[in-house]
C-alpha cells in the first residue's frame, strides 16, 4: 500500500502547472480586492482568508520551479521551501475556507481565476496527505460503496418503490435506448426524494423517455471536492460506462452544483475524450421543454420569493437564464437578491466544505452573508437548484432562527404541472 | 602723472558726467542694474548714491589658457555704453592683452597694484590653469599657477570670467592634455565668482562689478558659484521658443519647415534645458539676438564640461548609443532564451506527469 | 555630466537589454507551458469571451468598487497619471522616437507637471494604504515594497528634475534616467510583469468562463 508524501504533493503541483496558472501568478499585485469578494473574508475580517493567500504553497512551487528568477533565488537560498508544515498550515485555508465558488475570479482586476487554481492546488494537497478527514471519508465511501453518503442501490430502490406506490408514477430503471439517463445526488435520494417524483411527473407530461441506472445513479463526485483527478475519474467513469451501456443520448445532471461541474465540465477531460452523449442540467432541460411548449404549468405562486443561484450551476456552469425563465412561469412575485446571477454569494457549503465537519463552525459564521442578503429582501420562500445549497441554507436559517422555507426549483415546477387527468 | 592721479581720485559720478552721460541716463542705468539683479525699484536711489560715490577699484586681469574671447566680448561692443563706462571706470592695472606696457614693466605694474591695494583689489581671471606641466603656459617666466597664487593672496575677491576659468572649459575637455583646472580648484580661501559662458555676456561681467561697487560685496551665488541673478533660470525656461516645445513642435533639420517657422530646437540638440544663463533675456550685441533666435540650439557653454556633454547635435535626454540598431539581436536573444526557459518548463511539466502515481483512496493518509 | 553620459549611454543599453530579454523570457516561460485540450462540449466560444474580459476587467465589478473604493480609485489615478507622464511628456516621446522611431503629439508640460504631482500623491497614498489596510499589509512582502519604490522613484526624480530641485541639472536628470533604468531592470523579475501578463491572465479567465457560457 502506498502513502501520501510531500514528494507526491510537490509532483502534483508541478504537474498541475500550466500557462493560465503561470499567467495568474505572474499578474497578482496583492491588491487585496479578491478578499472583498470572498465570504470567508467579509464575514470574519481575517486577512488569512484572502483568496490569493490560500494559494501560497502552490505559488511557491510556481516561483521556485517555473520561473528563471525563482530558480536563481532558490539557488541562492533566498526562497522558502514548500514543506509538510506549510501544507498542514494551509490545509484549512484550502479546504475549510474555500467553496470553489469562483466569486473572486469574477472581480480580480488582472483576471486571475483563483478558484481554478485552488481546485488544482488541491491535487497537491491530497497527494501529500493534507485533506480533511470528512472529505477523505466521503471519497472512500464514494469509491467503495458508490456514494459519499453511503447510499447503496437497495436504498434507492426502496425510495423508488415508495414513490411509485404513493403516486402511481413509474420510475424507469436500467431501460436501454431511452433519450435521457437521470443522475441523482445522495442528498436527493435521502433528504429530498421529492426531486425524483418531480422528474417522473414532468417527464411523463412532456413525453420524455428516461431511465435511472442502477449501476451509476450517483451524480456527486467527491474526487472533485477533495481535488483528486484520479478519484474523480473513477467516479465519472462509472457514469460514462453506464450511459454508454444504456445507449442514452443525454445524461441529466441533477439539482446539485458540483455534480454538474464534475460531469459536465471536468468529466470529458478526466477520461481524456469527448462523451458519446450530451450532458444537460435538469434546469436546462426543463427550460428547453418550456420553450418548445412541452412543459405546461398552471397557477402562480404569489408568495414573495427569491432564487439562490448555486455557484457551480450559474457562475461556473453557465446555466444563467433557465432558472429565471422557469420561475417566471410559476411565480408572480419573484425578486432577485442583491448581487444575483453570476455575482451571487455562496451558501458557504460548496467545494466539499459541507462534507468537512471541521469546517462547520466557520461555515455557520460565513452564512451571515446569505443571511444579510435574505434580511434585505424579506421573502416568504427561497428557491434554489442545488441539494447541497438547500441543505446548507436550511441549516443556516435554523442556526440564525429564520423561518424561510427552502424549495427546489424542479419540485416547484412539478407542483404547478397541468393536471392531465382533469383536462 | 598728475592728470592720472586726478583721474584716479574721481568718483564714478564725476567721470560719467565728464563723458557727457546725463543724470537721467545714469539713473536709467541704475534701474536696469537693479532689475537685472532682481532688486526692488526702491533700491534704485541707493544704487545711484553708491555708484555716484564709488571710487575706482583696482582690477588685475590674469589671462591663462584662454582664447581672448572673453576680453573680446567685453571690449568689442560696437557702440559706447554705460557698461563700457563702468568698465572704463575701474582701474585696470594689469591686463596683458590691453595694456601698453610689456615684459618686466607689465609685471612691475601688477606688483605695484597688488602692493598699493593690498586686500582691496579684485582679480579677474580668464582661462584655465595647467597643472600637467607648469611650462605649458608661462607669462614672463612665471607659471600660471604661481601667478594666480601670488596675485590672489592679497585680493578681496576673484572673478573667474569665462567657462575656462570657471570650470576648466575647452582646455579641460577630454583628454585634457595640459591637466587644466578651474580657478576655484586652486583658490579655496577667497570668494570666487564664476561668470561662465564661452564667452560670458558682457552685461553679466559688468553687473557683477556693479554689484561689488554698489554693495561692497559679491552677489548671491548658485551652487556652481555663479551669480543667481543671471544664472538662476535655465535658457529653456526663458526661451521664446518654449511654447513650441510644450506643443511638441520641433525642427528636425536646420532648413526644414519647422526651422523656418521657428519651432523648438530640442531635437537638434539644444542644451537649453540644462543650461543656466541670461542669453534668452539679455541677448547679445546690444540686445540684437542670441543663438537660439538665430536658429541654432544652445550649446550649453556656461555649464561645466559642456564640450564633453555628448555632442552638440544630440538631444539632451536621449540615449546616445546605437542600441536600437542591435534591437533585432536583442529580441532574437530574448526569444531564444525565452524558448529555452519555456522548454525547460515544459520538460518539468511532462516529467511531473510521468512521475505521477495514481492517487487512490488507500493513500489519502500519511503514514507517520 | 559623466554620470549623465553614463546613464544615457551604457546604463541605458544595459537596462534596455535586461528589460527586453527579461520580458521575452518571462512571457515565453508562461506561454510555452500551454494547457491541455478541453474535451468538454463548449457552451460558448472562448476567443470572443476572452477578448471581452481583457477589456471589461478594466472596469471594476460594482460590488467590489463599493467594498474597495480606495484601491479602485487610487489604482486608476496613479496608473493613468503614470501613463500620461510616461507617454505624453514631450522629452519622453522624443526618447521613444529616438529609440524605436515612433512619435505622437505630447501635451503641455505644465499639465504634465500637475498630473505628475497628483500621481506622486496617489502613489504615496497607495503605499500608506498598503501599510495600513489589514489585507494588503498581510499579503505584502519585500517584493511589493520594492516594486512600489522602483515605480515611485522615476516619478519623484522626474518631478525634481522638471523643477530643477537638485543641482546641477545633469545630476538630477541623470538620477531620473537611472531610476527609470532601475525600474526597467527590476521589471521582468517582479510582479511588475503584470503590465504584460494581465492580458494573458484576463484572456484565460474570460475564455474559460466563456466556454461555460458566462461572461466573466
pLDDT tens for A33-76 read 999 999 999 999 999 999 999 999 999 999 999 998 899 989 99
**Rounded distance between C-alpha atoms, residue B32 and residue B35, angstroms:** 5
pLDDT of residue B16: 72
Q: Is residue C106 part of a domain?
A: yes
A68 to chain B: which residues are within 8 Å by CB?
341
Closest Cα in chain B, distance from residue C10 (Å): 8
pLDDT of residue B284: 87
Closest Cα in chain A, distance from residue C96 (Å): 26
**Rounded distance between C-alpha atoms, residue C127 and residue C104, angstroms:** 32
Taking the Cβ of residue C83 and every Cβ of chain B, the question of whether any pair is shorter than 8 Å is answered with: no
Taking the Cβ of residue A19 and every Cβ of chain B, the question of whether any pair is shorter than 8 Å is answered with: no
Span A247-261, mean pLDDT? 93
Structural domain A135-291, CATH architecture: Up-down Bundle (1.20)
Q: Residues of CATH 1.20.1050 domain(s) within chain A?
A: 135-291
B274 to chain C: which residues are within 8 Å by CB?
168-170, 173
pLDDT at A282 over 60: yes
pLDDT at B171 over 60: yes
Domain count across chain C: 1
**Rounded distance between C-alpha atoms, residue A36 and residue A47, angstroms:** 10
Span A321-347, mean pLDDT? 92
* CATH code matching the domain that covers A305-422, chosen among 3.30.9, 3.40.50, 2.20.28, 3.30.1330: 3.40.50
pLDDT at B3 over 50: no
pLDDT at C179 over 80: yes
Q: Residues of CATH 1.10.1060 domain(s) within chain A?
A: 6-131
pLDDT of residue B4: 45
pLDDT at A140 over 60: yes
Q: Is residue C120 part of a domain?
A: yes
Q: Residues of CATH 3.40.50 domain(s) within chain A?
A: 305-422
Closest CA to A342 of A374, A377, A317: A317
Do residues C120 and C149 touch, judged by C-beta distance below 8 A?
no
How many percent of chain C have pLDDT more than 70? 100
Question: For residue B129, what are the contacts with CB-CB under 8 A and spacing of at least 6?
Answer: B64, B65, B137, B144, B145, B148, B180, B181, B182, B183, B185, B186
Domain assignment of residue C119, given as a range: 2-20+61-193
pLDDT of residue B324: 64
| Average pLDDT of the residues of chain C | 91
How many percent of chain A have pLDDT more than 70? 99
Q: Is residue C32 part of a domain?
A: no
Cβ burial, residue C142 (10 Å; 0-12/13-18/19+): exposed
Q: Which domains does chain B have, with CATH numbers?
A: 57-231 (3.40.50.700), 235-308 (4.10.480.10)
Partners of B128 in the β-ladder: B65
pLDDT of residue B58: 86
Taking the Cβ of residue B360 and every Cβ of chain A, the question of whether any pair is shorter than 8 Å is answered with: yes
Q: What are phi and psi of C24, to 5 degrees?
A: -65, -40
Q: Is residue C42 part of a domain?
A: no
pLDDT of residue C10: 87
* Cross-chain Cβ contact C205/A112 below 8 Å: yes
pLDDT of residue A421: 57
Do residues B60 and B110 touch, judged by C-beta distance below 8 A?
yes
* Cross-chain Cβ contact B330/C5 below 8 Å: no
Q: Find, in chain B, the residue whose alpha carbon is nearest to that of C96.
A: B318
Q: In this complex, which of A22, A65, A231 lies closest to B359 when CB atoms are compared?
A: A231
pLDDT of residue C125: 95
Span A332-355, mean pLDDT? 92
3-state secondary structure of A382: strand
Name the pLDDT band for B87 (thresholds 50, 70, 90). low
* CATH code matching the domain that covers A6-131, chosen among 3.40.50, 1.20.58, 1.10.1060, 2.60.40: 1.10.1060
> For residue B368, how many C-alpha atoms fall within 13 Å in the half-sphere facing its CB?
8
**Rounded distance between C-alpha atoms, residue C24 and residue B331, angstroms:** 8
Closest CA to B169 of B320, B311, B309, B315: B309
Q: In this complex, which of A8, A22, A140 lies closest to B357 when CB atoms are compared?
A: A8
pLDDT of residue B21: 73
**Rounded distance between C-alpha atoms, residue B41 and residue A121, angstroms:** 78
Q: Is residue C215 part of a domain?
A: no
pLDDT at C178 over 90: yes
Residue, of A293 and B7, whose pLDDT is higher: A293
Span B128-145, mean pLDDT? 92
Subunits next to C (3 or more Cβ pairs <8 Å) are A, B
pLDDT at A270 over 50: yes
Do residues B307 and B170 touch, judged by C-beta distance below 8 A?
yes
* Cross-chain Cβ contact A3/B365 below 8 Å: yes
Q: What are phi and psi of B121, to 5 degrees?
A: -80, 160
All 3 cell numbers of residue A320? Answer: 444563467
Question: For residue A87, what are the contacts with CB-CB under 8 A and spacing of at least 6?
Answer: A6, A9, A57, A124, A125, A128, A130
CATH classification at residue C135: 1.20.950.20
Tell me: the pLDDT tens digits for A200-230? Answer: 989 998 999 999 999 999 999 999 999 999 9
Partners of B161 in the β-ladder: B126, B195
Q: Find, in chain C, the residue whose alpha carbon is nearest to that of A73.
A: C189
| Average pLDDT of the residues of chain B | 84
* Cross-chain Cβ contact C20/B247 below 8 Å: no
CA A165 to chain CA mean position, Å: 32
Name the pLDDT band for A349 (thresholds 50, 70, 90). very high
Tell me: the pLDDT tens digits for B275-332? Answer: 999 999 888 887 889 999 999 999 999 998 888 877 888 877 666 666 666 778 888 9
CA dihedral C59, C61, C63, C68 (to 10 degrees): -50
| Average pLDDT of the residues of chain A | 92
Tell me: the pLDDT tens digits for B41-72? Answer: 777 777 777 777 776 788 899 999 999 998 88
Q: Which helix (H) or strand (E) holds A415?
A: helix A409-415
Amino acid at each position: 500500500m502506498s502513502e501520501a508524501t510531500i514528494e507526491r504533493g510537490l509532483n502534483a503541483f508541478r504537474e498541475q502547472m500550466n500557462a493560465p496558472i503561470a499567467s495568474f501568478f505572474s499578474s497578482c499585485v496583492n491588491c487585496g480586492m479578491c478578499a472583498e469578494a470572498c465570504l470567508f473574508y467579509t464575514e470574519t475580517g481575517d486577512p488569512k482568508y484572502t483568496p490569493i493567500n490560500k494559494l501560497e504553497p502552490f505559488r511557491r512551487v510556481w516561483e521556485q520551479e517555473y520561473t528563471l528568477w525563482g530558480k536563481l533565488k532558490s539557488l541562492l537560498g533566498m526562497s522558502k521551501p514548500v514543506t509538510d508544515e506549510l501544507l498542514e498550515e494551509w490545509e484549512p485555508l484550502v479546504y475549510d475556507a474555500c467553496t470553489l465558488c469562483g466569486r473572486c475570479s469574477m472581480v480580480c482586476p488582472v483576471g486571475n481565476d483563483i478558484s481554478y487554481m485552488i481546485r488544482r492546488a488541491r491535487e497537491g494537497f491530497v497527494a501529500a496527505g493534507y485533506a480533511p478527514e470528512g472529505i477523505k471519508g466521503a471519497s472512500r465511501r464514494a469509491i467503495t460503496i458508490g456514494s459519499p453518503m453511503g447510499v447503496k442501490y437497495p436504498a434507492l430502490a426502496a425510495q423508488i418503490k415508495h414513490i411509485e406506490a404513493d403516486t402511481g408514477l413509474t420510475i424507469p430503471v436500467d431501460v436501454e435506448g431511452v433519450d435521457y439517463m437521470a443522475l441523482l445526488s445522495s442528498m436527493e435520494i435521502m433528504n429530498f426524494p421529492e426531486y425524483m417524483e418531480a422528474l417522473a411527473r414532468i417527464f411523463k407530461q412532456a413525453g420524455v423517455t428516461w431511465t435511472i441506472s442502477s449501476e451509476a445513479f450517483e451524480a456527486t463526485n467527491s474526487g472533485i471536492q477533495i481535488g483528486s483527478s484520479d478519484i474523480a475519474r473513477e467516479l465519472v467513469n462509472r457514469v460514462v460506462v453506464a450511459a454508454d451501456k444504456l445507449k442514452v443520448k443525454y445524461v441529466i445532471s441533477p439539482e446539485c452544483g458540483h455534480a454538474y461541474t464534475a460531469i459536465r465540465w471536468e468529466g470529458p477531460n478526466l477520461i481524456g475524450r469527448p462523451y458519446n452523449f450530451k450532458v444537460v442540467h435538469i434546469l436546462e432541460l426543463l427550460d428547453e421543454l418550456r420553450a418548445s411548449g412541452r412543459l405546461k404549468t398552471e397557477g402562480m405562486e404569489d408568495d414573495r420569493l427569491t432564487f439562490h443561484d448555486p455557484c457551480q450551476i450559474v457562475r461556473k456552469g453557465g446555466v444563467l437564464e433557465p432558472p429565471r425563465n422557469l420561475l417566471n412561469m410559476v411565480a408572480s412575485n419573484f425578486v432577485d437578491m442583491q448581487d444575483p446571477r453570476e455575482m451571487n454569494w455562496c451558501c458557504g457549503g460548496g467545494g466539499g466544505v459541507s462534507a468537512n465537519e471541521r469546517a462547520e463552525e466557520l461555515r455557520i459564521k460565513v452564512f451571515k452573508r446569505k443571511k444579510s442578503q435574505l434580511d434585505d429582501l424579506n421573502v416568504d420562500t427561497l428557491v434554489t437548484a442545488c441539494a447541497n445549497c438547500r441543505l446548507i441554507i436550511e441549516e443556516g436559517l435554523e442556526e440564525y432562527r429564520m423561518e424561510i422555507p427552502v424549495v427546489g426549483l424542479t419540485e416547484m415546477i412539478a407542483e404547478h404541472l397541468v393536471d392531465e387527468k382533469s383536462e | 602723472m598728475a592728470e592720472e592721479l586726478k583721474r584716479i581720485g574721481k568718483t564714478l559720478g564725476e567721470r560719467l558726467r565728464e563723458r557727457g552721460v546725463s543724470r537721467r541716463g545714469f539713473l536709467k542705468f541704475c534701474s536696469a542694474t537693479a532689475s537685472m539683479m532682481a532688486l526692488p525699484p526702491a533700491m534704485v536711489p541707493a544704487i545711484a548714491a553708491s555708484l555716484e560715490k564709488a571710487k575706482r577699484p583696482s582690477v588685475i586681469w590674469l589671462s591663462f589658457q584662454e582664447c581672448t574671447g572673453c576680453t573680446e566680448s567685453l571690449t568689442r561692443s560696437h557702440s559706447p555704453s554705460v557698461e563700457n563706462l563702468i568698465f572704463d571706470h575701474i582701474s585696470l592695472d594689469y591686463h596683458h592683452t590691453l595694456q601698453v606696457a610689456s615684459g618686466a614693466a607689465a609685471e612691475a605694474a601688477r606688483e605695484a597694484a597688488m602692493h598699493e591695494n593690498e586686500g582691496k583689489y579684485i582679480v579677474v581671471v580668464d582661462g584655465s590653469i595647467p597643472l600637467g606641466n607648469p611650462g605649458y603656459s608661462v607669462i614672463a617666466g612665471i607659471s600660471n599657477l604661481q601667478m594666480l597664487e601670488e596675485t590672489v593672496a592679497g585680493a578681496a575677491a576673484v572673478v573667474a570670467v569665462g567657462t575656462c576659468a570657471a570650470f576648466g572649459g575647452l582646455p579641460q575637455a577630454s583628454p585634457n592634455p595640459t591637466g587644466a583646472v578651474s580657478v576655484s580648484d586652486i583658490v579655496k580661501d577667497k570668494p570666487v565668482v564664476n561668470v561662465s559662458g564661452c564667452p560670458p555676456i558682457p552685461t553679466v561681467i559688468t553687473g557683477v562689478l556693479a554689484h561689488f561697487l554698489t554693495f561692497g560685496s559679491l552677489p548671491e551665488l548658485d551652487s556652481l558659484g555663479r551669480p543667481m541673478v543671471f544664472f538662476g533660470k535655465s535658457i529653456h525656461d526663458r526661451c521664446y521658443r518654449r511654447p513650441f516645445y510644450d506643443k511638441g513642435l520641433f525642427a528636425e533639420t536646420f532648413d526644414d519647415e519647422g526651422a523656418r517657422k521657428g519651432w523648438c530646437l530640442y531635437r537638434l540638440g539644444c542644451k537649453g534645458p540644462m543650461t543656466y544663463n541670461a542669453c534668452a533675456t539679455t541677448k547679445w550685441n546690444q540686445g540684437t539676438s542670441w543663438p537660439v533666435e538665430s536658429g541654432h540650439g544652445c550649446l550649453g557653454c556656461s555649464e561645466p564640461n559642456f564640450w564633453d556633454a555628448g555632442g552638440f547635435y544630440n538631444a539632451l535626454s536621449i540615449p546616445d548609443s546605437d542600441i536600437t540598431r542591435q534591437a533585432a539581436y536583442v529580441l532574437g536573444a530574448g526569444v531564444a532564451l525565452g524558448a529555452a526557459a519555456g522548454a525547460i518548463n515544459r520538460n518539468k511539466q511532462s516529467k511531473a506527469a510521468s512521475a505521477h502515481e495514481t492517487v487512490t483512496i488507500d493513500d489519502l493518509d500519511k503514514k507517520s | 555630466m559623466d554620470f549623465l553620459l553614463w546613464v544615457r549611454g551604457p546604463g541605458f543599453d544595459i537596462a534596455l537589454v535586461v528589460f527586453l530579454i527579461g520580458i521575452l523570457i518571462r512571457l515565453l516561460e508562461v506561454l510555452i507551458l500551454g494547457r491541455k485540450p478541453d474535451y468538454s462540449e463548449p457552451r460558448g466560444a472562448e476567443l470572443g469571451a476572452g477578448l471581452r474580459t481583457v477589456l471589461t476587467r478594466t472596469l471594476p465589478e460594482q460590488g467590489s468598487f463599493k467594498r474597495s473604493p480606495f484601491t479602485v480609485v487610487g489604482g486608476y489615478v496613479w496608473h493613468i497619471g503614470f501613463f500620461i507622464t510616461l507617454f505624453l511628456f514631450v522629452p519622453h516621446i522624443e526618447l521613444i522616437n529616438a529609440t524605436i522611431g515612433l512619435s505622437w503629439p505630447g501635451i503641455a508640460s505644465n499639465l504634465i507637471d500637475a498630473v505628475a504631482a497628483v500621481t506622486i500623491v496617489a502613489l504615496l497614498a497607495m503605499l500608506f494604504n498598503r501599510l495600513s489596510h489589514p489585507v494588503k499589509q498581510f499579503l505584502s512582502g519585500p517584493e511589493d515594497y520594492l516594486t512600489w519604490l522602483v515605480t515611485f522613484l522615476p516619478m519623484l526624480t522626474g518631478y525634481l528634475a522638471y523643477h530643477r530641485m537638485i543641482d546641477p541639472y545633469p545630476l538630477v536628470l541623470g538620477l531620473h534616467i537611472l531610476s527609470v533604468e532601475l525600474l526597467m531592470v527590476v521589471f521582468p523579475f517582479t510582479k511588475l510583469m503584470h503590465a504584460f501578463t494581465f492580458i494573458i491572465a484576463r484572456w484565460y479567465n474570460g475564455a474559460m468562463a466563456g466556454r461555460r457560457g458566462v461572461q466573466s
